Amino acid sequence: MSCTEWKREPTILDVFFGFLLPYRPPRSALGAFVWRRRMWLETTFALSMMEPWEKVLVACFFWTLFALLTAGIYLYLPDHISYVYGRTKYYLLGRELGVTSALSWSSRWAAAGNVTPPLGYVLDVRDAL
């Protein structure tokens, strides 16, 4: 980096999107805050020692990882919270589904167009014994 490049004051766009970051912070409060965070990130993980194409590769890898993690949380966390709520309710209250609720579930299963409801399987097994 040349002396003039080293001494220049970056703009906010340079801080957000530039590959080479000068050593002086921008004048604005937001730009200076983002500049400090970016300098911390680049020095902690040695990104300042990498070529621009290596920085892009590392950034793409972590953004992909972040996107997959976010999608997983968005898709599976509500169902998992519901499952944990049901298990917690069972452990604290000690009750399973009652017979009436199991029968209503079985009748809904049959009404949905399934050939044999689960209750029919139970009755077939009892008849076989």
pTM of the model: 0.51
Helix (H, G, I), strand (E, B) or coil at 50: coil
Which sequence spans correspond to the domains of the chain? 1-49, 51-97, 98-128
Query: b or e along 49-63 (b: 16 or more beta carbons within 10 Å of the residue's beta carbon)?
Result: eeeeeebeeeeeeee
Q: Provide the pLDDT confidence category of residue 125 given band limits of 50, 70 and 90.
A: low
**pLDDT tens-digit profile of 22-35?**
777 888 899 889 88
pLDDT for the residue numbered 100: 53
pLDDT for the residue numbered 69: 96
Closest C-alpha to 26, from 11, 4, 41, 14? 11
pLDDT for the residue numbered 74: 93
Closest C-alpha to 9, from 118, 23, 123, 121? 23
**pLDDT tens-digit profile of 44-98?**
888 888 888 998 899 899 999 999 999 999 999 989 998 898 888 888 887 665 5
pLDDT for the residue numbered 13: 78
Evaluate if residue 108 carries a pLDDT over 70.
no
How many alpha carbons fall within 13 Å on the CB side of residue 92?
6
